[in-house]
Amino acid sequence: MGVFTSDTGHEQVVFCQDKQSGLRAIIAIYSTALGPALGGTRFFPYQTEEEALHDVLELSRGMAYKNALAGLDLGGGKAVIWGDPERDKSESMLRAYGRFVASLGGRYYTACDVGTYVGDMDIVARETRYVTGRSVEHGGAGDSSILTALGVFQGMRAAAAHRWGNPSLAGRTVGISGLGKVGRHLAAHLIEEGATVLATDVSDRARDWARETFAQIKLVDTTDELIRSEIDVYAPCALGGALDDATVPELRAEIVAGAANNQLAHPGIDKLLADRGILYAPDYVVNAGGVIQVADEIEGFNFDRAKLRAMKIYDTTRQILTLADAEGVPPAVAADRLAERRMAEVGRLRTIRL
């Protein structure tokens, strides 16, 4: 995908290089229609520069839609650092990166993503104030999985209300694939609500956590086994691409609502889900609690305010599912339409000269 040849229309793409520290980064700003672009920094050993560019263009576009539906006054952007985070990351590289973020003068705010952590953002913050996802000690929002899980839980309740006429998940069985940071908090919300939780994880550590913390969680061996089990709701909370041509026909659940990004392996999958009568709560709508949490840092972090915003994921999910029915399109298409509408309608207000 090229910057000028792609039809997605990114506003700005910046290539950043610092030979001494080995930094090779690309910052992509998809849209600032609603405000400064916010999105994390992915540190990943891409095979080629093209692959890194493709990823950052896709991810930054996704953030514009996510931030718009989260009700934030923020546009969408993302950055990638091309390298192996285990081997290549250093203080000087992160600080060099911070100076490039600073050079954009607030058009782009960064945050954590795959391969970057709160400690890294604390280092980036020594060179720029346009950074979120810092540690609590440095004025940050800390672990964003707390509100991510709360938002997924709210999105799931909204889907339950849409499908079954009642948001309560008490007595329902929810299958969680991935008991990581988000999956664990989600399991806790579900157990508190009175749901039965079936779960799986490839990591022994995660499985041990479940055995030690929540004896109520029923563990199964694999995700394949999980999706073939008698579950009412499937919550993918591990990696992307959880819903593909092989898994959807096997799925027993009536609702899919989970934290993982990019759950649909390809665009035709949402149609496949709809044809099977499975209600899909779009991933980027229900997992926006994390970006809501870190975005709050820009105003000076207030957990209660961020939590109130994350609770609104319930209303947004209901609105999208209702719109999908009304317009006869899959929920993912309805979500895109709603995001585009907000970007156009609210973004337009900037044309009123002050």
Residues at the contact surface with ligand NAD, assessed by CB under 6 A = 144-145, 148, 177-183, 200-203, 206, 223, 237-239, 259-261, 287, 290
Residue 271 is a catalytic residue = no
Say if CB 301 and CB 139 are below 8 A apart: yes
Distance CA 349, CA 342 (A): 11
Distance CA 172, CA 160 (A): 10
Shortest distance, position 241 Cβ to ligand NAD, whole Å: 10
Shortest distance, position 332 Cβ to ligand NAD, whole Å: 16
CB nearer ligand NAD, residue 259 or residue 334: 259
Shortest distance, position 347 Cβ to ligand NAD, whole Å: 24
* Amino acid letter, residue 36: P
Instruction: Point out which residues pair with 177 in neighbouring strands.
Output: 200, 236
Q: How far is CA 135 from the centre of its chain?
A: 19
Residue 252 buriedness (CB in 10 A; 0-12 / 13-18 / 19+): middle
Shortest distance, position 219 Cβ to ligand NAD, whole Å: 11
The tokens describing 26, both together, are 């690309």
Which residue has the CB atom at the shortest distance from ligand NAD?
180
CB nearer ligand NAD, residue 32 or residue 261: 261
The bridge status of strand 255-256 relative to strand 75-82 is: unpaired
CB nearer ligand NAD, residue 179 or residue 321: 179
Q: Determine which one of 19, 66, 78, 312 is catalytic.
A: 78
Instruction: Point out which residues pair with 26 in neighbouring strands.
Output: 15, 80
CB nearer ligand NAD, residue 30 or residue 100: 30
Distance CA 293, CA 179 (A): 20
Active-site residue set = 78
